[in-house]
Amino acid sequence: MTPALAIILGVILVSAGVGFIAGRRVPMNLENWTVGGRKFGIVIMWLLMAGEVYTTFTFLGASGWAYAKGAPTFYILIYGTLAYTLSFFILPEIWKIGKRRGLHTQPDFFAHVFESRALGVLVAIIGILSILPYLQLQLAGLGMIVEIASDGAVSSTTAILLAFLLTSAFVLTSGLRGSAWVAVIKDILMLAAVGIVGFGIPRIHFGGIGRMFQALIEKAPGHLVFPGSAPSMGVGWVMSTVLLTGMGFYMWPQLFGTAFSAKSEQVIRRNAIIMPLYQIPIVLIFFVGFTAFLVLPGLANGDLSFLTLVRKTYPSWFVGIVGAAGAVTAMVPASVLVLSAATLLAKNVYRAGFRPKAEDAEVMRVSRVMVLVVSTTALIFALAFPSALVNLLLIGYDGVSQFFPGVILGLFWKRVTRTGVTAGLLVGIATAAFLVFGKHDPFFGLNAGFVALGLNALVTVVVSLLSRPSPRKALA
């Protein structure tokens, strides 16, 4: 067993162990399991959000894009910052309603605000369909990381199976609390790995970050301004994409749900203030991708540039630490995604759609079964189609961001109706699907999901004005 392999396996096991123990001292009822008893303070909230935000996609994707596309990868820094700024103003409002009415999930919010169980079920289904490919991507990314870091000693399939078993186990025992505590390990490891590699690699290969950029400016200046090496990703694409993803970010059911886990609205606001700082280390991942562009040209898969360069530069034990950081970076978001999808299925599809009289205990039992159903489905996808779902991931983002007009208008505009929101949502989803699957993305230089979002907002407003005002609970 190489040092790298021992470290990776050790870290995965210890993390899962921490996840188990995290839930041992609290009784597991629905409230504790899904929203951590609504008692998360600033530190654990920050860790959890950061845990969900830094996913495998950041690790592999940010460097992969820096390598293959260049400047367009900067959009990652921008959209996160937009998302936190928006969350500063919007999440506290969502939290207030959630607290008053005892809401746990995003479909709860829609069903409650628009007094429509059917709309809640529709939102739940769109949410679950968007989560699945995202979850699958985490698993596939984890497999890739472990296989490369262990130099092929652990195949991607074995790694995915092991991580899947351990992650489902700690989700079943500890719920959201488990994810939050594993996020502690993950954040420390990942920040250490990214810090060392991000400063180290440009230094080792070029003598510093400035010199690396100098070399890059001489060799390929176009790589460093929009559209970089991706002709369709000009500045219009960047602006529409950061708007779409910035607005869509907190519309992911699992991130929307974190608004319900906070102890107070002040915790949410403080969290929003701090989070942009946590974005800054991503720039170190870009540096690695840019260095790889210069020293390892011609890789078939840009997503592998980070790990390939790390393996070329550092000794085996250190590759192990980076690989372990990458693996845990997949496990934390995967656990939260599984938990969210399972809760949505049990609470907002099973109970809201079929068994309105089901008790919390029954919903909890169904959620646990759904954990296995969801993770097994994602596992099968991850093993059978390791990369074919990238298109679906994009549709996933395009899909969840269509919730945005409903949430905003539901919070701040009294005249919006359930007919309007339902119509807007359906038009938005249909437009996004048509443009993306019909290969019209980007659409006249704009992100297709953004075009769909615009239509959605327009339809929501027009249909709301045309339809009879539906009785809605007072929000203030």
Provide the binding-site residues for other proteins, judged by CB under 8 A: 71, 74, 77-78, 81-82, 84-85, 88-89, 208-211, 213-214, 217, 221, 224-226, 235, 238-239, 242-243, 269-270, 272-274, 276-277, 279-280, 283, 286
Cβ distance to other proteins smaller for residue 235 or 475: 235
For the bound state, the minimum distance from the C-beta of residue 196 to other proteins, rounded and expressed in Å, comes to 19
Please classify residue 160 by burial: count the beta carbons closer than 10 Å to its beta carbon, then call 0-12 exposed, 13-18 middle and 19+ buried: buried
Shortest reach from residue 89's CB to other proteins, in Å: 6
Provide the sign of the torsion angle of the four alpha carbons 443, 233, 453, 103, taken in this order.
Answer: positive
Helix intervals (H) in 262-389 = 265-279, 282-295, 305-313, 316-343, 360-384
DSSP of 279-309? HTTHHHHHHHHHHHHHHSTT-S-GGGHHHHH
**Considering beta carbons, is residue 207 or 469 the nearer one to other proteins?**
207
Q: 269 φ, ψ to 5°?
A: -65, -45
Which contacts of 216-222 are long-range, i.e. CB under 8 A and separated by 24 or more positions?
216/290, 216/293, 216/294, 219/294, 220/70, 220/293, 222/70
Compute the least distance from the CB of residue 73 to other proteins, in Å.
10
Residues 6+ away with beta carbon under 8 Å from 241: 75, 79, 447, 450
The end-to-end CA distance of the chain, in Å, is: 61
| Rounded-to-integer distance, Cα 171 and Cα 151, Å | 30
* Cα dist from 464 to 221, 247, 419, 474, whole Å: 49, 21, 7, 17
Cβ nearer to other proteins, comparing 85 with 467: 85
**Residue number, 287 or 314, with CB nearest to other proteins:** 287
Using the minimum distance from each CB to other proteins, give the nearer residue, 229 or 316. 229
Asked whether 323 and 3 are in contact (CB, 8 A), the reply is: no
Q: Which is nearer to other proteins, 221 or 297 (CB)?
A: 221
The residue (of 218 and 357) whose beta carbon lies closer to other proteins is 218
The amino acid sitting at 343 is: T
What distance in Å separates the CA atoms of residue 204 and residue 49, rounded to the nearest whole number? Answer: 33
Write down the least CB distance from residue 225 to other proteins, Å: 5
CB of 46 to other proteins, least distance (A): 13
How many angstroms separate the CA atoms of 474 and 470, rounded? 12
For residue 350, the minimal CB distance to other proteins (Å) is 39
| Cβ distance to other proteins smaller for residue 136 or 279 | 279
Tokens describing residue 93: 């409002």
Least separation in angstroms between residue 279's CB and other proteins is 5
Could you tell me the smallest distance in angstroms from the CB atom of residue 77 to other proteins?
Answer: 5
Supply the minimum distance, in Å, between the C-beta of residue 27 and other proteins: 35
Spatial distance between the Cα atoms of 436 and 425, rounded to a whole number of angstroms? 16
Q: How far is the CB of 232 from other proteins (least distance, A)?
A: 16
Q: Which residues of 268-307 are buried (b: 16+ CB within 10 A; e: fewer)?
A: bbbbbeebeebbeebbbbbbbbbbbbbbeeebeebbbbbb
Specify whether the CB–CB gap between 406 and 248 falls below 8 A.
no
- Residue 146 or residue 247: which is nearer to other proteins going by CB? 247
Is the CB of 71 or the CB of 97 nearer to other proteins?
Answer: 71
Q: In degrees to the nearest 10, what's the CA dihedral of 316, 322, 328, 330?
A: -110
